[in-house]
Structure 1
Amino acid sequence: MPPVHLDPATPPGGTDPRQYARLLAQAHEAVLSGMAPPTPPRPVIAQSWERMMGTGVDPDHGSPPGALSPEEVERQRRACGLGDALDTLRGGLLSIADAAWHILVIADSQGRVLWRGGSRTVLAKARQLGFVEGASWTEETVGTNAIGTALVTRRPVQIHSAEHFVRTHHAWTCAAAPIRGPKDGRVLGVVDVSGPATTVHPSTLALVDAVARLAESELRTAHLGELERLRAVAAPLLARVTGRAVVTDRHGWVAAVTGLSPIDRLLLPRTVHEAQTWLPALGRCAVEPLPGGWLLRVIEEETAAPARAVLDVSRPHQASLTVEGPSGTWAHDLTPRHAELLFVLAAHPEGRTAAELADDLFGERSRTVTVRAEVSRLRRRLTGLLQHRPYRFADGVTVDVVRPARPADLLPHSTAPALARLRRPADA
């Protein structure tokens, strides 16, 4: 019989919350003592505890959170990209958190607390822990917690009582969900609801995640408005252009084209600041700045295939791809899904069928429609770099992969079975 994992969202029937917290505490103490726990924690908790013991976080007190100054907090509020979603987050959760003796916390992509609200009593208790505006709430600072662990895993998570790595946090329960930006898919921050451990409720995580998705929808609406304004600026310019040209925002989302088939997005280099740049999808382009974007005029010449690709997955939270071609070098930060796809293809130079990729990424060979759609999207953006039947890097392209020093840091957010296997030291 497979082991039963401790799950705060669905504790054993009839188990008192306090008794369940004691079971979690027994598992916590056993793991920290180097012993096998009587009942193992959930995989997401076990993996986080393993990271914490590898980084040396103090299980008794954590590390000093190192709060930002009020001026720095205000600056980060303006720069974090969550401003358009703030009303949605507050409106969806603040009153509920207050009534349930919880607090609402919004943190940026670095785990720094930018906004708090809710029950005054619980806010005062949070202050005693250093859970205040400007404080860092990453795993590296305060151990396993909903904000920090959601930033690592890139998915919603609920942390209850002794699932927190640091003992001083065992009196708390918290649920958090990441918020992704529509422009580049990066996590902009985390929304969290925290309170006394005795107030744990199985629906809290679902509610927090639903409000986070609603906030993402608000951000997408704001982004579409920005593209409309860019399109209005570009229209008279494109009317005078001869040949192929495209107008994009700073993240490569296309506002308008002329002489080209419609495309939703171009992968741009990390920085576009020269008069010319090279793009895998278009070749060499003349670059002109626009308010909020770029006008890219294609320089007509014979397009040559890329010669070398470097997939860098050495950083736990951000993968990148560098492509070298006859006309220059191009680099771009990858979304988590595209990083997974390219890593699996790099590990299988002979190629993968759609069914094999579905098994690699989802553990379900039947999900070929999802795989074909995602690879097709990636092939359009990386023209000449990928081939199909089977899916693989193009012939003649040298592929190098830069891996992290520790196998556990290999795309830690990914739940793909192929990546999970490679995080084991023996397989790596």
Structure 2
Amino acid sequence: MTERASGEGTREVISASWRRCLAAGIDPDTSYAPLVYEQEDIGDARSAHPLAALLPLLRTTLLPALDEAANIMVITDAAGHVLWREGHRRVMRQADGIGLSDGFGWSEGAVGTNGIGTALADGRAVRVYAAEHLARILHQWSCTGAPVRDPDSGRVIGCLDVSGMTPRLHPATDALVRTAARLAESDLALRMRERDERLRSRHHRHVDGASALVTLTGRVIAGPWAGPAVRVPECGDRIVLPDGRLGILEPLGDAYRLIPVPAGDDAVPRLTLTMLGSDHPYAFLDGARIDLSLRHAEIVTLLALHPRGLTAERLSYLLYGDEGNPVTIRAEIHRLRAQLNTAIAAKPYRLTCAVLADFLEVRQALAAGGLSSVARLYQGPLLPRSEAPAIRSAREELEARVRAQLLARGSTDDLWAYAQTPSGAEDAEVLQRIVSTVPVGDQRHAAARTRLARVDD
């Protein structure tokens, strides 16, 4: 520790930051922040970040005061990567000289002690004044940063920072930045509650007196349980409920259904299928994840589409056409039953469990006219690598129905959700509709316009 960092009057938050940075080998002669996003890549990072929707609020809160004080506003992601920078033009030109600009990294590990990186590392608002910066080139700068937490997950998702030349950073800036960060979190909380209400409306049929609805982050938003969030397992394992019983989390696409498992349970097994948009299909059988080969995924999908069952001959035809061989199908079913146990019966082959499948959910949503549900649930084509005749036909039909319904009656949000799928990402008509309906200042407008240019080329 140098004399400057440990001298009398140095705040502990700064001293602790210096110790971390020096132990990590950060050079005080660092002269420039590293570039982490090229300009052609930063647009996707911005559009995907939850703070993108809050830019109007943050601009209204901060920019009028910043321009008068000759300061700038900087917004980063959780890693300290700058996504947006606005404010006084002359100060922004000076900030360019140290890399305090869009696409550059300002974590402690990149440039040492600073208002962004130290706030993220410490988990609270921090002012770093002049020579409190580790890097000497930053001694003429001062900044105040405040982390922004996602009320859904509780994790820090970014940092809001105000920076300026040292004499120009007013003491009231600290309170202003903290207030803006809290406003952002309040707005995120409101949006979270609105999402919760949409989830409850969308999945109400999956919730009864015993089961509950759980967000992807583990919050219970409907059903008989309340209190702390449940642990969401990575591989679909059973979890322990607050009352000590076991429970199963069944994926619903944008949420989970939480089902208690009674002691000595001998209920019908539950099979959940994820087949849309992925090259690696998988299933959950009573909460345990099972990775499926493409052929096994095709078989299970066809059995789900034909709940009354299929003979070996019919299943062979659906998979291979006229060249199919029932003997091959019987061998595949034998191997598949080793994974799914008693979930598949014979004569005819059929699923003997309760089935929840993403492609069936989309079909049900289409039939019910719930376009928001369709846009949310449809993650891409059904088994995109499959060349089986029946799968290819089902895939093309589902894709055509989703696209037609969204173009005919979908909202801008619905179309944007579809544009995130492999098919929608390069659909010129969908992208043109987004460009024509979304305001120019909206990040989705710029992203859709860029994609549209690539498609046209």
TM-score normalised by the chain length of structure 2: 0.55
Q: Is the partner of 1:95 in helix, strand or coil? A: helix
Is 1:233 the equivalent of 2:219?
no
Q: Point out where structure 2 has 5 or more consecutive residues left out of the alignment.
A: 266-286, 289-457
2:192 is matched with: 223
Q: Is the partner of 1:82 in helix, strand or coil? A: helix
2:39 is matched with: 70
1:100-179 correspondence runs (5 A): 100-179=69-148
1:200-215 correspondence runs (5 A): 200-215=169-184
Distance 1:62 1:52 in 2: 15
Contact in 1 for aligned 2:69/2:169 (Cα 8 Å): no
Q: Is the partner of 2:37 in helix, strand or coil? A: coil
Corresponding letter in the other structure for 2:218:
G
1:261-410 correspondence runs (5 A): 262-271=225-234, 274=236, 277-281=238-242, 283-301=245-263
Q: CA deviation at 1:40?
A: 3.3
Contact in 2 for aligned 1:176/1:192 (Cα 8 Å): yes
1:182 is matched with: 151
Q: CA deviation at 1:285?
A: 2.6
Q: CA deviation at 1:269?
A: 2.4
Q: Which deviations, in whole Å up to 9, do the C-alpha atoms of 1:93-146 show, x marking residues without a partner?
A: 122111210000000000000000001100000001011111000111111100
2:211 is matched with: 245
Identity %: 35
Q: CA deviation at 1:291?
A: 4.4
Distance 2:81 2:59 in 1: 18
Distance 2:129 2:264 in 1: 59
2:3 is matched with: 30
Distance 2:263 2:160 in 1: 49
Looking at secondary structure, tell me which structure has more helix per residue: 2
Q: Which deviations, in whole Å up to 9, do the C-alpha atoms of 1:226-260 show, x marking residues without a partner?
A: 0001111222333xx4x621111101222211xx3
Q: Point out where structure 1 has 5 or more consecutive residues left out of the alignment.
A: 1-27, 304-326, 329-428
- Return the index of the structure with the highest Cα Rg: 2
Q: Is the partner of 2:50 in helix, strand or coil? A: coil
2:366 is matched with: none
1:79 to 30, 33, 48: 48
Distance 2:79 2:206 in 1: 39
Size of the aligned set, in residue pairs, is 267
Q: Is the partner of 2:143 in helix, strand or coil? A: strand
1:51 is matched with: 20
Q: CA deviation at 1:150?
A: 0.1
Aligned-residue Cα RMSD (Å) equals 2.4
Contact in 1 for aligned 2:75/2:159 (Cα 8 Å): yes
Runs of 4+ in 1 over 6 A off after TM superposition: none
Distance 1:270 1:125, change over 3 A: farther
Q: CA deviation at 1:206?
A: 0.6
1:373 is matched with: none
- Bigger Cα displacement from structure 2, 140-149 vs 72-81: 72-81
TM-score normalised by the chain length of structure 1: 0.58
Corresponding letter in the other structure for 2:232:
P
